[in-house]
Amino acid sequence: MTHIAHSPTVAPTFSRRMLTSFRQTSRRLPITAKIGAAILLFWIITLLTIQFWAIADPLAMVGRRLQPPSTDHWLGTDALGRDVFSRTLHGSIWSIPIAIVVVASAVAIGSLLGALAGYFGGWWDSIIMRLVDVTVSFPPILLAMSVAAMLGPGLANASIAMVIVWWPIYARLMRAQVLEVKEREHVEAAIAGGASSLRVLRVHVMPLCWTPTLINATMDFGQVVLLAASLSFIGLGATPPSPEWGSMISEGATRFYDWWIAFGPGMAILSVVLATSFVGDGLRDLFDRRST
Amino acid sequence: MLAYVLRRLISIPLLLLGVASISFLLTQMTKGDPLAALVPERMMNNPEIVATVKAEWGLDQPLPIRYVRYLGNLVQGDLGTSFATRRPVAQDIAERLPATLELVIVAMVIGTIMGLSLGLLSARFRGSVFDSVARMFALIGSSLPIFWSGLILLYLLSVRLSLVPGTGRLPPRISPPEHFTGFYTIDALVAGDLVLFGQALAHIALPAFVLGWSVTGIITRLVRSSLIEGMSLDYARTARAKGASERVVLVKHALPNAMIPLLTILGFTFAYLITGAVLTEAIFSWPGIGSYAVRAAASLDYPAIGGVTIVGSIAFLLANLLTDIAYAWANPRIKVNT
């Protein structure tokens, strides 16, 4: 009997489709999605290799204070004579890993709770989904601000705050998918074959449920970068002198005339957010036509 | 319809109770000591103040009693006393709320007008250069960090070009109109002061545009896709068969139907507007509850942050309720068991 329970899932999964037909997939992606992917790749390579670059120290005073952009300092210098261009590139070390951690944690927590709610129903479902309802009753930034403030300023606490804001989205997505997939025949077969509930959920249901979650996670990545920068801008995230994009903009916010201090980090955030929505749109058109 | 609205109405107090409970838990977590959320650090060694606060919020009582006390204070509108202003948080918020509402409403109007016209035009000229430019403009609006676009536009339009005045609701040393609604534009009109009205309008223009631009993307996208879908449906074909021009089909037939999905996302855009308002107010020194919250968060003024969060959630829930009711009214098909 066990061989039925161990039989492979019926439809190809998102990840498997991604791997086996990667070249085919990338050929079918629209040009905007490719540009988006290139921008994201640029930032990832930058953050991994920037310590080897021949570029100004982001924390050291390397020129006169508040110099406008020039050939020496491409994006000028800030109030402490630090190179804004170098600081902007170094900002990726903060912003991008944080967004990855926050999105991954929110996906993990949200999907797990959503899958349990959808599969087992009853009490589980009521408790988890009411918690979701209450969490989404808060305007996101206010919830993030209160959690971050109550836990104390700092990037780690800001990240916890953002996970608290984001997990309900994934719980709802996963629950809806699980509710649909668990009615399919191969699931019935697995249950008849004697597989335990957790095994059915893990092996036969969840692998078929990831598509909307992964597409949403791509789109949310940019929004998390944006919210993390907003929290730092307010003073609840990264603390000076770290070259985080949000806190760099807040250094520029008090100096209207020295526009270049904020220009670089703002463009950096814009590039990441645009890139993720390009890639997310492209993936959605390919894998999930229904939700367009 | 009535049953649906009633069910939604009943859920509101329950959700509010949930919001209050989470807010309560957050105050209990503050620095591991709930007292820290109510008394500023420098007043901790003043036994009189500490005793008063402890008695008011029941801090010498066990957790369940503190919870009941907290809810009781909340129902009476007591959100605690701000560390910074030393005034009741509820009073601070009440004074600042009209400024935020005025900004959000004007932004909503600007965002809806821009989103509708861009969506309409890009559906009409689908696939053209105009279509791409309009969609890009909308997408950039929702991708920009609003605290940055505000800053850059302020520099360009105010500092460099002097097209708009600087920050704040009115020029310096100009006193606001007599309080009627708290909206300076309306109050100035009520007072019959057209100069003051112009000044208030000029001051709100840029922040409201920046904020409105941030929701233009969602609206444009939705209007465009529902129009394109509508143009391929049977009613559009019938209208064409009867000799209507493409323009008439689009505006007279497809557009009214696109309004229904637009209603559903108004609640959703409201979440964006609140987020945006907090950051816009910080940049434009707008004296609303957003800048109050930012000031409170930066100085760890816990009662003020908690208060703004609760008031913001109430506003958010009400906006969503109104959206749902409007939707149920506009689209009778949903009176089912949702």
pLDDT tens, residue by residue, B99-137: 999 999 999 999 999 999 999 888 888 888 888 888 888
The confidence score (pLDDT) of residue A291 equals 46
The one-letter amino acid at B151: L
On the question of pLDDT at B220 being above 50, the answer is: yes
Confidence of residue B208 (pLDDT cuts 50, 70, 90): very high
Task: Return the closest-CA partner of residue B286 out of B162, B79, B107.
Answer: B107
- CATH code of A148's domain: 1.10.3720.10
Q: Cα–Cα distance between A281 and B19 in angstroms, integer?
A: 33
Asked if the structure places residue A38 within a domain, the reply is: no
Helix (H) or strand (E) holding A225: helix A210-234
Q: What is the mean pLDDT of chain A?
A: 83
Kindly determine whether residue A273 and residue B30, on different chains, have CB atoms separated by under 8 Å: no
Q: Cα–Cα distance between A232 and A161 in angstroms, integer?
A: 12
Confidence of residue B266 (pLDDT cuts 50, 70, 90): confident
On the question of pLDDT at A289 being above 70, the answer is: no
Three-state DSSP at B81 gives strand
Asked if the structure places residue A36 within a domain, the reply is: no
CA distance A53 to chain B (A): 28
Compute the average pLDDT of residues A34-54: 88
- When CB atoms are compared, the residue of A146, A153, A262 closest to B148 is A262
Query: What is the 3-class SS of A59-106, one letter each residue?
Result: CCCCCCCCCCCCCCCCCCECCCCCEHHHHHHHHHHHHHHHHHHHHHHH
Three-state DSSP at A11 gives coil
Residue in chain A lying closest to B18 (CA): A134
Chain A residues in contact with B297 by the CB 8 A cut-off are 145, 148-149, 234-236
Chain B residues in contact with A143 by the CB 8 A cut-off are 309
- Residues A65-122: tens digit of each pLDDT: 778 887 777 777 777 878 888 888 888 888 899 999 999 999 999 999 999 999 888 8
Kindly determine whether residue B316 and residue A139, on different chains, have CB atoms separated by under 8 Å: yes
Asked if the structure places residue A116 within a domain, the reply is: yes
Q: Cα–Cα distance between B131 and B220 in angstroms, integer?
A: 11
Angstrom CA distances, A118 to A23, A51, A125, A181, stand at 35, 46, 6, 10
The confidence score (pLDDT) of residue A7 equals 45
Asked if the structure places residue A33 within a domain, the reply is: no
- When CB atoms are compared, the residue of A150, A266, A269 closest to B302 is A150
Kindly determine whether residue A142 and residue B306, on different chains, have CB atoms separated by under 8 Å: no
Q: Which of residues 174-213 of B touch A (CB under 8 A)?
A: none
Specify the pTM.
Answer: 0.85
CA angle A157, A163, A169 (to 5 degrees): 160
Asked if the structure places residue A282 within a domain, the reply is: yes
- When CB atoms are compared, the residue of B151, B158, B274 closest to A139 is B274
Residue in chain A lying closest to B273 (CA): A139
Residue B280 makes CB contacts below 8 A (sequence gap 6+) with: B103, B146, B147, B150, B207, B210, B211, B286, B290
The confidence score (pLDDT) of residue A89 equals 87
Q: Cα–Cα distance between A268 and A262 in angstroms, integer?
A: 10
Chain B residues in contact with A261 by the CB 8 A cut-off are none
**Residues, chain B:** 338
Q: Interhelix angle for B302-330 vs B255-283, to 10°?
A: 170
A-B contacts at Cβ under 8 angstroms:
141
Residue in chain A lying closest to B274 (CA): A139
Asked if the structure places residue A52 within a domain, the reply is: no
Kindly determine whether residue A142 and residue B151, on different chains, have CB atoms separated by under 8 Å: no
As beta bridge partners, residue B323 has none
The confidence score (pLDDT) of residue A41 equals 93
Cβ A233 vs Cβ B279: under 8 Å: yes
Q: Cα–Cα distance between B301 and B168 in angstroms, integer?
A: 23
Asked if the structure places residue A275 within a domain, the reply is: yes
Kindly determine whether residue B144 and residue A266, on different chains, have CB atoms separated by under 8 Å: yes
On the question of pLDDT at A11 being above 70, the answer is: no
Q: Which of residues 101-140 of B touch A (CB under 8 A)?
A: 139-140
Of B257 and B280, the one with more pLDDT: B280
Structure tokens at B212: 């409105």
Asked if B314 is an interface residue toward chain A (Cβ–Cβ < 8 A), one would say no
CA distance B31 to chain A (A): 7
Q: Cα–Cα distance between A254 and B161 in angstroms, integer?
A: 19
Complex ipTM = 0.86
Q: Cα–Cα distance between B125 and B117 in angstroms, integer?
A: 12
Rounded to the nearest 5°, which phi and psi values hold at B231? -65, -15
Q: What's CA A151's distance to the chain center, in Å? A: 22
On the question of pLDDT at B269 being above 90, the answer is: no
Sequence-ordered alpha helix ranges (H) in chain B: 2-29, 47-57, 63-75, 89-124, 129-143, 146-153, 184-190, 194-231, 234-241, 246-248, 255-283, 289-298, 302-330
Best B26, B28, B144, B151 residue to mutate vs chain A (most A CBs within 10 Å): B151
Q: Which of residues 137-166 of B touch A (CB under 8 A)?
A: 139-140, 143-145, 147-149, 151-152, 154-155, 158-159
Confidence of residue A1 (pLDDT cuts 50, 70, 90): very low
Instruction: Specify the number of domains making up chain A.
Output: 1
- When CB atoms are compared, the residue of B143, B293, B316 closest to A145 is B293
Cβ A216 vs Cβ B115: under 8 Å: no
Angstrom CA distances, B125 to B115, B118, B134, B227, B229, stand at 15, 10, 10, 12, 14
**Cβ atoms within 10 A of the Cβ of B159, count?**
12
Asked if the structure places residue A94 within a domain, the reply is: yes
Residue A109 makes CB contacts below 8 A (sequence gap 6+) with: A163, A167, A170, A171
Asked if B19 is an interface residue toward chain A (Cβ–Cβ < 8 A), one would say yes
Maximal C-alpha separation, chain A:
77
Q: Cα–Cα distance between A228 and A246 in angstroms, integer?
A: 7
Q: Cα–Cα distance between A244 and A97 in angstroms, integer?
A: 12
DSSP category for residue B39: S
Reported for B284-288, long-range contacts at CB under 8 A and 24+ positions apart, including other chains, are B284/B150, B284/B154, B284/B167, B284/B168, B284/B206, B284/B207, B285/B167, B285/B168, B286/B99, B286/B100, B286/B103, B286/B167, B286/B168, B286/B169, B286/B207, B287/B96, B287/B99, B287/B168, B287/B169, B288/B96, B288/B97, B288/B99, B288/B100, B288/B103
Three-state DSSP at B58 gives coil
Q: Interhelix angle for B302-330 vs B89-124, to 10°?
A: 40
- Residues B24-57: tens digit of each pLDDT: 888 877 766 777 777 777 777 788 888 887 777 7
Three-state DSSP at A50 gives helix
Cβ B150 vs Cβ B253: under 8 Å: no
Cβ B176 vs Cβ B197: under 8 Å: no
Q: Which range of residues forms the domain containing residue A175?
A: 74-291
CA distance A38 to chain B (A): 18
Kindly determine whether residue A256 and residue B152, on different chains, have CB atoms separated by under 8 Å: no
Three-state DSSP at B88 gives strand
DSSP category for residue B251: I
CA distance A77 to chain B (A): 17
- When CB atoms are compared, the residue of B19, B37, B145 closest to A137 is B19
- When CB atoms are compared, the residue of A230, A273, A292 closest to B147 is A230
Chain B residues in contact with A39 by the CB 8 A cut-off are none
